[in-house]
Chains A and B, each alone.
Chain A
Amino acid sequence: MSVMPPQRLADAGELASAMNVLADGLASELDGRTLVFLAGIPTRGVMLAQRLSGLLAAKGIPSEAGAVDISMYRDDLGMRGGVAPLQATQLPMDLDKWTVVLVDDVQHTGRTARAAIEAVLAFGRPRRILLAVLVDRGGRELPVRPDFTGMAPEVSLGARVRVHLAGQDEGEEGVFIS
């Protein structure tokens, strides 16, 4: 199999527009009176949740951002060549009053989102859980569908889609396929 050089699906500007699409979608769904918690799924979802919180604030919708680590809830334990470090989970103490928006960079099989839902429910019973993903690349293996999608490119099943974020990854910001 030949190794293809990484191909750019979106540059920094297009990534920013996709984030705006997500923010617009969320803004139309949330009325500004609900308590909104943006729970990023590590690693890149955490930074995206923070950015999304800023975009919502500009639209007059207050929210808080944190993280939900899903390692303990995965269904592929021991299939990934060693165990990666756990990341801190930051969720509100009184979760039952909040609407939780799960934020991830790439949606693929849906297994990550499923694990994230289970992880959040271990902390309480939020009023509502929504799922926002920057890139929906297709290939679902579970009936878990994002509520909000930034972009949905056509991607072949075997391809790897990576999101590079300034401040987290080296090189230029954008969405890449390899």
Chain B
Amino acid sequence: MDERGFQRVVLEQGNRVYSYAAMILRDPGEAQDVVQEAMVRLWQHRETVDGDGVRGWLKRTAHNLCIDRIRRRRIQPVPVAEEDPREPVDPTPDPGRLAESEQTARGIEAALERMSPLDRSVLVLREVQQLPYAEIAEILGLPLGTLKARLHRAREQLRRRLIREGVQP
């Protein structure tokens, strides 16, 4: 990849990588650091990173940097209780707590924050960034079947959290 190619990748992918890191880390400053570091590493590996694989390489690097930072914080994410999928769900949330779309969005972001980093990554990459499964599997290093099962579980977990917190999904 030459200099012009690198600049194109930075401009094309910068916002997407930043959005991803910001949602995973929930800290704009840290997310900016991750973007910067990932881009510098891409530059350092520009002669070995395959042209078609640049996007995946960049996201995988950013993902690993995010996970490293989460570990370094030494703040364990709130343990994700293995919830019984058959757990009865209140079918009629309190109508007085029905939220507007903006509140729902805030509720979703807050609920995402309390999910495990991997579940959060799966949801953000698939539902927010709408990446193809194959690309997500490569970024996260998961087999396709595992990824899909994880996504399905994460969707339902997010729903249960929203309902439990009184946010109308």
> Bound pair: A and B?
no
Q: Which residues of chain A have a CB within 8 Å of any CB of chain B?
A: none
Q: Which residues of chain B have a CB within 8 Å of any CB of chain A?
A: none
